Structure 1
């Protein structure tokens, strides 16, 4: 018998996605939220919402489940999803943990122990070393990959190409592992050349049945973080699928696994040889692509297995239909080194198209802060063939708009249509190699500047007809010059006439007729459709998945926006909102240009802020553990110039 009430120990898009299945099954959903997440989308869509101090507070989560009369707890992914202590505490409280037994979480949650376990079961593994058995500082087989033993999701993974890089890489990985997982134990592995990241979805019940649902290709990564995933892989043959699937099933059996899980393999793109990397004892972020090609609801199967039911099908019943591709929408700015962003969602448009699914935690008016992972939503496209699935993904991303928060959507669109991606020639280093081809320019396109100027020009200053900005003068309309400030500087655009009727725009020495009707801006022979919203003095425009913000630049304002300091002024500012993690200098220190001064953390990412010039640290407002806003002054370096 299924549960009548399930608590979801998570937030964001995965909580919303779980609620969707629970509602279809007639199960009451209970959401939890921190004070900063009050009013978040998952709290609005759940049947019941309760406040907890932190998503990692095991006792608070258990109390919330008991107070709401929930019979089971679904952990989603991240937070407590792979925490064996949480699984045991749920059992002690009489709650069903919708996931594997705590013993399986223990066995596979520790990468070192997991490798030993599956190796004993005959599954091939990558050669490597592990603490505390091995002294990783003595490793001499490069290139190599350092990983946190207790972690996942690419956090703390560092590629090391030489012995000279090893000490700093170990320090960084250990620091990230301690902060993200509470365990600084590391392992190191030989780096596989031309690597493809292929994972197998498995399902197991408490009656001894274990099946796999085919593979997902997760090779499109940046800094070991997945970006676009697909199913099935364009590389994997039916024979390889059968072999990897059998190995994944054996890995699950080796630990008495129950529920949904993923066995991840690193595959040599030249030889096809595969090696076990790790097992994620939870639902994966990319699970929708498997659902779309199998027709199965993995959350429903998780709940049914947790309730004691048998899997309703055998291995021979699993069929893959068509192709699915998923893109992860992040609050980050690819044009500025993928720095985390944030803000209030002022306007939101998510695609509603045939063959397209959106898993999203976004809601208009919601605030995207720096406390949690920067992933906002997932856009997933299905089609009978791979080429059409990629085209649908691109179209659906173009139809997505998030105004108020800068996102990576233009980058995702460029990646989805890159020739190597279209050809299926993937490996985990591809994105880094072709990155210049994928990055959107910081400069605002001319037609967007014109649209912004027309939007400002169309707003009357009041009820007085003399304040209407049509530029009327005796004889002819006069030009109005709009100085618009964006992230890349100040731009002058001239407009005359009424945009809703007939206007002209002069930009970059060219004069073009212009008109604005129902969000469509016609400039010369070109017409573009924009989503537009005003936030006090700021105008946001969205088009084709991209967004831009503008403010009026008044005479006397500084000509440049604050940002990374130039070598001449020595002011060092925070490139993103976040928390100061480490201060690596003191007032009075002599520093060289490029020397690390402060490490800022946001959304579980670190960014090292360096000295802009040779000189002496004269001011150091940054303090470890303190939050900082974007562009907040972290340090001032007084330049010292030779002779």
Structure 2
């Protein structure tokens, strides 16, 4: 449920058909609102996205090129051609890709197609971080001290950094998402960071110009959602806190920002409205501020001239459909509500579910979603927060920046899921690794956090590494619960967020072994319920009804664990003996059954449970020498925790080759499927420990591989521009100490 827009006989009609120039969850999100309004939708897709969810949900879909975005989603000519072929009257760009491309907006206008976004002049002004800061300063919006000029000489930029004082932040003047951004703590790190930022900026945005500004040591990232119409009306839809980040990218957002006074909220909103007016803004935009935790001062950072990834949290606390607002404004209608009528009720969180490995520096992962089970949504958009308004909205600039808090009913906690992929989908290396967004709303921050933790406990993924476990740890962290957030939150609380992985409990080991034993037997019998209910009449492995299951932690150095499973006197019951090192635990007469291929019921220590256990077989084409990848993995989801165990490979298979993932010191391997951006060494070169050797790119993220030894380059197994698979040896360095 959401707040409906005001209807008026004088309102201009909506478009009949729109094209969505995007993919994934945001494309699905726009399609949902369009269908609600009776607007037909046109999807575009690359060759690898042919079976994607947004393609299935749209009324029409057109292929526009190969997988690389430069050959598909960034091809303005192909998108405009599809507009003409399909009869689409307008284009919704989503976020990323062409959403902040002024040239695209201008070309659409030349072709008589409406761009559902701001005018190109606003995109140009606010898309340049340097120009935007000059505009903001003139409009009375405070800015961070720094150099925002056009001189891009590396030595000059270095001198400016010294003048500002380290630490400094190097930022691409165009784009967002943390691309082309580097924090520099010391003078000797500056040149390498500058080169990397410029290279990444050029690839991402086609422009390598950067600015340098003071890095605030304990900053928060607070942003204000603004909306403007073509008639001069501008309103604030209040603020969000997006402070907790990794690699300068957001992973969890909330609204409203914790700990702000009403006076500070009003000041932030007023400055954001002034920023939008300064560039004659139209549509949805976000004015981002750096908030200094130490001084309580805030500074303009940048403006995103599009709908944000985190817009659902604003929808949840206002009860508004922001995509619907975009379509209203693009059709030429006034803002649906005045400033004084915009509510702010309760608290909302959004957690981004990424295919990545948080314990490996959040490196992105790729592969199929072999298994996906999500919490059940209770709302598609947001809870109803206000009675329907009875008069047309005004955009009176004098309207107070005080949220409306009247509600039509008592709210219940709610959960919303935004996703663009389903079970069986492929998470590739060409695009952002975000799988979905989990959004929750509660009457206060404490209740919303409780909803978030519960939703994350119910989120189960197998096939790619994800950040779900990390998000659960974050949502349960004492400092986060207290609202004591900052952009350096993760490194500051690293040990608490990444505790040592505990050994699996005897109960988990027993469940895993029973699952394997039952599964093996289920393939030999047609019994639809408990496969071993007739075990007393069968013999397996000799005179005793017994299975010996060897398990191992998902760690090549872990010791194997032996679990004996025997039939008990009562059919469907088993005696289980777990032997892990010197520890031994026995369970007698355990009832157990397979409800489905992934659902397992058992009662251990008088506690009954329904456990999800998913088997992940090794990839069929993996060489036998990749020892850790030839093991079958068991993913056990129990009590909100995920435990991964492996069934060790047979000895004859391991004898075919060595474990390349535990290769000799000095061998650098691709940590993920990647594009080789730059090879910085050649055979015979001398390298020092820590020296950059290879630069990789995966899912729009650049990774620098550094030598872990000092020595001589013996071999180079890759070249610039080449796609390499995970585990490929890229450079072999002979250690001087060898």
Q: Does TM, scored on the shorter chain, surpass 0.5?
A: yes
CA distance in structure 2 between the partners assigned to 1:224 and 1:600 by the alignment? 18
The reply on whether 1:215 has 2:239 as its aligned counterpart is: yes
What residue is the counterpart of 2:83 in the other structure?
A: 65
What residue is the counterpart of 2:406 in the other structure?
A: none
What residue is the counterpart of 2:298 in the other structure?
A: 274
What residue is the counterpart of 1:12 in the other structure?
A: 24
8 Å Cα contact 1:356/1:380 also seen in 2:
yes
The reply on whether 1:541 has 2:650 as its aligned counterpart is: no
Task: Name the SS of the counterpart of 2:520 in structure 1.
Answer: coil
What residue is the counterpart of 1:284 in the other structure?
A: 308
1:187–1:620 Cα change, 3 Å? same
What residue is the counterpart of 1:575 in the other structure?
A: 671
Q: Which deviates more from structure 2 when the two are superposed, residues 471-480 or residues 261-270? A: 471-480
1:39–1:551 Cα change, 3 Å? farther
Shift of 1:390: 0.5
8 Å Cα contact 1:399/1:545 also seen in 2:
no
8 Å Cα contact 1:562/1:631 also seen in 2:
no
- Cα-to-partner distance string for 1:509-544 (whole Å, 9 max, x where unaligned): 323325533323444455554333445554442522
Shift of 1:193: 3.4
1:257–1:97 Cα change, 3 Å? same
CA distance in structure 2 between the partners assigned to 1:66 and 1:563 by the alignment? 53
The reply on whether 1:530 has 2:605 as its aligned counterpart is: no
Shift of 1:453: 3.0
**Residue in structure 2 matching 1:630, options 723, 726, 731:** 726
1:374–1:547 Cα change, 3 Å? farther
1:457–1:50 Cα change, 3 Å? same
**Residue in structure 1 matching 2:592, options 516, 533, 536:** 516
Task: Name the SS of the counterpart of 1:427 in structure 2.
Answer: coil
- Cα-to-partner distance string for 1:209-259 (whole Å, 9 max, x where unaligned): 000011001111123211111001112211111111111111111111000
CA distance in structure 1 between the partners assigned to 2:271 and 2:681 by the alignment? 50
8 Å Cα contact 2:684/2:712 also seen in 1:
yes
1:264–1:488 Cα change, 3 Å? farther
CA distance in structure 1 between the partners assigned to 2:661 and 2:520 by the alignment? 36
1:623–1:433 Cα change, 3 Å? same
What residue is the counterpart of 1:457 in the other structure?
A: 517
What are the equivalent positions in structure 2 for 1:128-277 lying under 5 Å apart?
A: 128-133=146-151, 135-138=156-159, 139-140=161-162, 141-277=165-301
CA distance in structure 1 between the partners assigned to 2:705 and 2:211 by the alignment? 28
What residue is the counterpart of 1:89 in the other structure?
A: 107
What residue is the counterpart of 1:502 in the other structure?
A: 574
**Residue in structure 2 matching 1:606, options 699, 702, 716:** 702
What residue is the counterpart of 1:618 in the other structure?
A: 714
Task: Name the SS of the counterpart of 2:226 in structure 1.
Answer: strand
CA distance in structure 1 between the partners assigned to 2:479 and 2:472 by the alignment? 14
CA distance in structure 2 between the partners assigned to 1:547 and 1:65 by the alignment? 48
Task: Name the SS of the counterpart of 1:456 in structure 2.
Answer: helix
Aligned length: 640
CA distance in structure 2 between the partners assigned to 1:133 and 1:570 by the alignment? 40
8 Å Cα contact 2:561/2:578 also seen in 1:
no
- Cα-to-partner distance string for 1:22-71 (whole Å, 9 max, x where unaligned): 11111111111100111011111112111111111111111112211111
- Cα-to-partner distance string for 1:394-449 (whole Å, 9 max, x where unaligned): 10011111221110000001111111111111111112111221126556624544
CA distance in structure 1 between the partners assigned to 2:20 and 2:228 by the alignment? 21
Structure having the higher Rg: 2
Task: Name the SS of the counterpart of 2:112 in structure 1.
Answer: coil
CA distance in structure 1 between the partners assigned to 2:239 and 2:370 by the alignment? 38
CA distance in structure 1 between the partners assigned to 2:546 and 2:615 by the alignment? 26
| RMSD, matched Cα | 2.5
What residue is the counterpart of 1:356 in the other structure?
A: 415
What residue is the counterpart of 1:394 in the other structure?
A: 453
Task: Name the SS of the counterpart of 1:530 in structure 2.
Answer: strand
1:208–1:344 Cα change, 3 Å? same
What residue is the counterpart of 1:586 in the other structure?
A: 682
What residue is the counterpart of 1:369 in the other structure?
A: 428
Shift of 1:260: 0.4
- Cα-to-partner distance string for 1:272-298 (whole Å, 9 max, x where unaligned): 211100000000111000000000000
1:214–1:52 Cα change, 3 Å? same
What residue is the counterpart of 2:5 in the other structure?
A: none
CA distance in structure 2 between the partners assigned to 1:438 and 1:43 by the alignment? 38
The reply on whether 1:103 has 2:121 as its aligned counterpart is: yes
1:589–1:454 Cα change, 3 Å? farther
1:569–1:421 Cα change, 3 Å? closer
Q: Which deviates more from structure 2 when the two are superposed, residues 497-506 or residues 350-359? A: 497-506
What residue is the counterpart of 2:48 in the other structure?
A: 36
Gaps of at least 5 residues in structure 2 are 1-12, 66-71, 379-413, 619-631
Shift of 1:602: 0.8
8 Å Cα contact 1:143/1:161 also seen in 2:
yes
- Cα-to-partner distance string for 1:116-170 (whole Å, 9 max, x where unaligned): 1111111111111034236212121111111100121122211111212111111
The reply on whether 1:405 has 2:426 as its aligned counterpart is: no
1:444–1:629 Cα change, 3 Å? farther
- Cα-to-partner distance string for 1:468-527 (whole Å, 9 max, x where unaligned): 999846664445142557355563332322595324141313233255333234444555
1:247–1:510 Cα change, 3 Å? same
8 Å Cα contact 2:21/2:92 also seen in 1:
yes
Task: Name the SS of the counterpart of 2:242 in structure 1.
Answer: strand
The reply on whether 1:52 has 2:49 as its aligned counterpart is: no
Gaps of at least 5 residues in structure 1 are none
Structure 2 length-normalised TM: 0.82
Task: Name the SS of the counterpart of 2:651 in structure 1.
Answer: coil
